[in-house]
Structure 1
Amino acid sequence: MSSEVAIKVSGLGKCYHIYDKPHDRLLQMLRRGRKQYYREFWALRNVSFELKKAETVGIVGRNGSGKSTLLQLICGLLNPTEGNVHTSGRIAALLELGSGFNPDFTGRENVFLNAAVLGLSEAEIKARFDQIAAFADIGDFLDQPVKSYSSGMSARLGFAVAINVDPDILVVDEALAVGDEAFQRKCFARIGALRAGGTTVLFVSHSGATVVELCDRAILIDRGESILISDPKLVIAKYQRLAYAPPARQEQVRRAILAMHEDEAGTAAPFSREDDAEDDEVGQAGDNDAPERMPGKHEASAYYDKNLVPASTVSYTPNGAVIDNIRILDKTGATVNIITSGQTYRYCYEVRFTHAACAVYFGMVLKTISGFEIGGMGSHEVSDAEPYIAGGSVVRVTFWFRNMLRPGIYFANAGAYSYAMENQQVLHRIIDAHMFRVIAAPSMRWNLSGVVDISSPPRCHLDIVTDAVPVPSDHDEMQERRVTT
């Protein structure tokens, strides 16, 4: 293996034997070679790639695709059924919460145990202990049994040990998702420092934005195979296409990814804006699951995909108002949920007031697929809220925004609020009320940092469609009516 290669995986596969009945396992042992009492399940098969030193590579794929099995084989925790793995240098791994910890030992004792397993001497552990404790930042719990820890505390301690043993290779399996935002930021900063120092980083993540931001390359695993190894933007685009494809079209999408041209090194061709447009051709005319309007190969126009529906919607209990008819409209007034970068759209919803309310305002928030809040808009300043809306009224809320999001999946919230008597009341709120996908326009600026260009100011407009009761002239009467309702 070349001195510049940190990890080399060649024809790697892992097969498990599945027995229908417990006693079949014994029969297989007694009659080996005469009859097979098990079914083969290949969790991983024919996976090959190389990682250079100081390279950061993300692994993405649907649940059950074989990502964690691959990491365990690389770390030597599993023996491969076929193929082989070669690694160069010390490996520090954080594969699952509390992995390598004895639940009956204290955190302090587990630091010494885990660091010793990773190859540090007792003197080295003592010299680094204060650094580990400071990074984990779990206070007096360091001297409590690990079995009393929350999942976040276990992740903190495990990661603190892993990154303070000066690893040549750092392997992380989605373990950081449980930490709070401040801790996650600290972890990513530390990973950046390790990368700068020459550490090879290999990690599994479901966050496309994180993979694109941190990684030099990405690997898409599906059904135990590595079906794409390439630029992170391209891999994430294909992964999201595969993950959100309706069941009837998943095999077609998968074949399209597998059919992509690969160079001699097994790495897919560089990212092309046409690749995303080609994805949209997977649903051909006559396919019952295809979107109602599909752009051509070289188009980047908005359209509506009936299959793009959020599964994480949470609706608060209505408190005098009900939000409904949530949608995004393009400049022609058509309902869309596949939108193009650089174009102006309207995010709309209607609010039906079951009771009168005063000092009313409305809001929306956009979030990434990981839940990160990109930003939001409010219809009014609190001091300038809508003075009074009668019971039975319907208000159509429209937020204009110029879409400068990078390609990817996003979610939008919707909310109606009252600030009567100087106390905010949630009249109705829906989390992840709407889901939409952004596709790249040919003129999109790819040198943007972050996920959004904030150069365009948004605006909002309200239409009171129906008004069941005249607006009272006396402001005190308005507040009294709101309180009593």
Structure 2
Amino acid sequence: MCSDTVIKVNNLGKCYHVYDEPSHRLFQFFHRNKKLYHEFWAVKDISFDVKAGETVGILGRNGGGKSTLLQLVCGTLNPTQGSIDTVGSIAALLELGSGMNPTFTGLENIVILSEIMGISKDHFEEILPRIIEFADIGEFINQPVKTYSSGMAVRLAFAVSVAREPNILVVDEALSVGDEAFRRKCFARIEKLRENGTTLLFVSHADSLVTQICDRALLLDGGELLQDGVPADVVRSYHRVLFSLPSKRQEIREAIKSGEFVSTVKESSKEEAQKQRHSESLELETYLDDFVSKSIVSYPVRGAEIVDPYLRNKKGKRVNQLVAFEEYEYTYKVKFTKDAAGVQFGMLIKDITGAQVGGSVIPGFNEDRLEAKTGEVFEVVFNFKCPLNPGTYFLNAGVQGLIDEDSENPYLHRLLDVVMFKVHSNGLDNGTGFVNVCPSATTKKL
């Protein structure tokens, strides 16, 4: 193993025996010459190296082998084949509450976990106050862990894991629970560890986070390593697998393994990778055929019909994978089947919970509305510079007008959740919430 390599995985595999009937497990014990099970490879033939100070993200669908791989690296599982070599101490935050005894108090679990991690008694007495302060669970530190919420359990486990500075930190999606303030506190601590040279290996479904902070990314699917490379490339491949039709999935997997979707960006140093993140993020701007809304609601057509709503970039290319702060157009056509007065077109952006993020109408509220005749077709275009933070969003489209003075319904046609799109980080943003307000900020020491 090279001097700067801290994790070396070679031809790694973990196989489980799956029995159709519980009794077959007992029969197998007495009939060794018969095979009463079928093999399930959680991970198979995986090889990669991780250098000191490198941050590597692992992406993949549920059941792809990500958690199994991390457990193998940490030594909590034994491999069926292959080898794993690590250098230095490892701190792991795997399954929720992993390693903690639910009947013991938080303080008692801190003692046990510290002993498992090999922390000396003198060092433990030094770091104990920091652990309690970081966990910030108050009087619950003296209560059994079984009385904790999921967020409190993670607080305690994370506080112990990062109390000392490990050579390698392994995190398996545990930070997806808990309040945002504590999650931010955790990532601040992780960033500090990275600055001090800690190697980070973590699983996350937050692909924007992988693009932002990782030097490399791995894509696992079906227990296989499909891709190891630049985060932007791996995220794009992850989306292709995630949103592919089952009938096309194997074809896409093979294309990814062959390198068909890899960009021309060459492997670079950590500093060069940071400089390239913005340009790499632009490669995420694309259209995925299978990334479509499954919650479309179409209201009755009452004199006008909205046709073909979609997003396009400034080159006129149809997209549903956007990059923050790039320019886009949301467009659709409206066919009028009746004369209408006071016509107004609208759009609305929502997040995955249905919360309204923002919208617009044309003509504006202080402008004269339009007249439309039967048979006329209008093209509606909303131009915008995407201010949204990374995440998945949905678009509505609507047209209002009067075709009957007695009607109380102003909508001639309305489509809800008609376009689904995903916003990726541009590699430079630092916003929170839905919208990045881009404040002009300065600091000075007083």
The two structures have a TM-score, normalised by structure 1, of: 0.66
Q: Gapped runs of 5+ residues in structure 2?
A: 267-282, 298-305, 335-345, 368-377, 399-414, 439-446
2:292 pairs, out of 290, 293, 309, with 309
1:131 equivalenced with 2:167 (yes/no): no
CA deviations over 1:325-351 (Å, ceiling 9, x no partner): 99445599x99663676444237899x
- Structure 1 vs Structure 2 CA RMSD: 4.5
Q: 1:31 Cα shift? A: 2.3
Task: Please name the residue that 2:272 is paired with.
Answer: none
State whether residues 9 and 85 of structure 1, in contact with CA within 8 Å, keep that contact through their aligned partners in structure 2: yes
State whether residues 211 and 427 of structure 2, in contact with CA within 8 Å, keep that contact through their aligned partners in structure 1: no
Give the letter aligned to residue 18 of structure 2: I
Task: Please name the residue that 2:11 is paired with.
Answer: 11
Task: Please name the residue that 2:273 is paired with.
Answer: none
Task: Please name the residue that 2:166 is paired with.
Answer: 167
Q: How does 1:46-85 map to 2 (within 5 A)?
A: 46-85=45-84
Structure 2 counterpart SS, 1:35 = coil
Task: Please name the residue that 2:421 is paired with.
Answer: 436
C-alpha distance in 2 between matches for 1:303 and 1:218? 22
Q: 1:169 Cα shift? A: 0.7
* Alpha carbons of structure 1 residues 439 and 70: separation in structure 2 relative to 1, 3 Å: closer
Task: Please name the residue that 2:384 is paired with.
Answer: 402
CA deviations over 1:397-433 (Å, ceiling 9, x no partner): x8834244799873136699xxxxxxxxxxxxx9977
Task: Please name the residue that 2:156 is paired with.
Answer: 157
* Alpha carbons of structure 1 residues 327 and 116: separation in structure 2 relative to 1, 3 Å: farther
State whether residues 302 and 330 of structure 1, in contact with CA within 8 Å, keep that contact through their aligned partners in structure 2: no
C-alpha distance in 1 between matches for 2:354 and 2:208? 10
C-alpha distance in 2 between matches for 1:149 and 1:364? 40
* Alpha carbons of structure 1 residues 303 and 76: separation in structure 2 relative to 1, 3 Å: closer
Task: Please name the residue that 1:412 is paired with.
Answer: 394
Task: Please name the residue that 2:254 is paired with.
Answer: 255
C-alpha distance in 2 between matches for 1:251 and 1:331? 30
State whether residues 170 and 199 of structure 1, in contact with CA within 8 Å, keep that contact through their aligned partners in structure 2: yes
* Alpha carbons of structure 1 residues 217 and 302: separation in structure 2 relative to 1, 3 Å: closer
C-alpha distance in 1 between matches for 2:31 and 2:307? 65
State whether residues 311 and 320 of structure 2, in contact with CA within 8 Å, keep that contact through their aligned partners in structure 1: no
Q: Gapped runs of 5+ residues in structure 1?
A: 263-267, 273-298, 316-323, 351-361, 387-395, 417-429, 441-445, 456-485
* Alpha carbons of structure 1 residues 335 and 166: separation in structure 2 relative to 1, 3 Å: closer
C-alpha distance in 2 between matches for 1:41 and 1:373? 41
C-alpha distance in 1 between matches for 2:96 and 2:322? 39
Identity percentage of aligned residues: 43
Higher RCO (C-alpha under 8 Å, 6+ residues apart): 2
* Alpha carbons of structure 1 residues 373 and 184: separation in structure 2 relative to 1, 3 Å: farther
C-alpha distance in 1 between matches for 2:355 and 2:264? 30
* Alpha carbons of structure 1 residues 63 and 300: separation in structure 2 relative to 1, 3 Å: closer
1:449 pairs, out of 411, 429, 444, with 429
C-alpha distance in 2 between matches for 1:304 and 1:241? 7
Structure 2 counterpart SS, 1:40 = strand
The two structures have a TM-score, normalised by structure 2, of: 0.72
Task: Please name the residue that 1:392 is paired with.
Answer: none
Give the letter aligned to residue 209 of structure 1: S
Task: Please name the residue that 1:87 is paired with.
Answer: 86
* Alpha carbons of structure 1 residues 449 and 158: separation in structure 2 relative to 1, 3 Å: same
Task: Please name the residue that 1:31 is paired with.
Answer: 31
Structure 2 counterpart SS, 1:184 = helix
State whether residues 328 and 386 of structure 2, in contact with CA within 8 Å, keep that contact through their aligned partners in structure 1: no
Give the letter aligned to residue 179 of structure 1: G
Task: Please name the residue that 1:210 is paired with.
Answer: 209
Task: Please name the residue that 1:353 is paired with.
Answer: none
Q: 1:137 Cα shift? A: 1.2
Task: Please name the residue that 1:345 is paired with.
Answer: 329
CA deviations over 1:86-137 (Å, ceiling 9, x no partner): 1111111111110011000111111111111111123322211111111111
Q: 1:385 Cα shift? A: 10
C-alpha distance in 2 between matches for 1:226 and 1:137? 38
1:198 equivalenced with 2:191 (yes/no): no
C-alpha distance in 2 between matches for 1:133 and 1:314? 48
* Alpha carbons of structure 1 residues 379 and 259: separation in structure 2 relative to 1, 3 Å: same
Task: Please name the residue that 1:288 is paired with.
Answer: none
State whether residues 104 and 145 of structure 2, in contact with CA within 8 Å, keep that contact through their aligned partners in structure 1: yes
* Alpha carbons of structure 1 residues 91 and 38: separation in structure 2 relative to 1, 3 Å: same
CA deviations over 1:66-101 (Å, ceiling 9, x no partner): 111101111111111100101111111111110011
Give the letter aligned to residue 112 of structure 1: V
CA deviations over 1:187-234 (Å, ceiling 9, x no partner): 111111001111111000011101111111000011111110001111
C-alpha distance in 2 between matches for 1:6 and 1:374? 46
C-alpha distance in 2 between matches for 1:67 and 1:301? 26
Give the letter aligned to residue 330 of structure 2: R
C-alpha distance in 1 between matches for 2:218 and 2:389? 19
Q: 1:434 Cα shift? A: 4.0
Structure 2 counterpart SS, 1:211 = helix
**Number of equivalences:** 377
Task: Please name the residue that 1:238 is paired with.
Answer: 237
Give the letter aligned to residue 172 of structure 1: V
Q: 1:36 Cα shift? A: 1.3
* Alpha carbons of structure 1 residues 415 and 17: separation in structure 2 relative to 1, 3 Å: same
Structure 2 counterpart SS, 1:260 = coil
Task: Please name the residue that 2:183 is paired with.
Answer: 184
Structure 2 counterpart SS, 1:120 = coil
C-alpha distance in 2 between matches for 1:53 and 1:439? 28
Give the letter aligned to residue 308 of structure 1: F
Task: Please name the residue that 1:276 is paired with.
Answer: none
Q: How does 1:457-472 map to 2 (within 5 A)?
A: none
C-alpha distance in 1 between matches for 2:124 and 2:205? 33
State whether residues 219 and 229 of structure 1, in contact with CA within 8 Å, keep that contact through their aligned partners in structure 2: yes
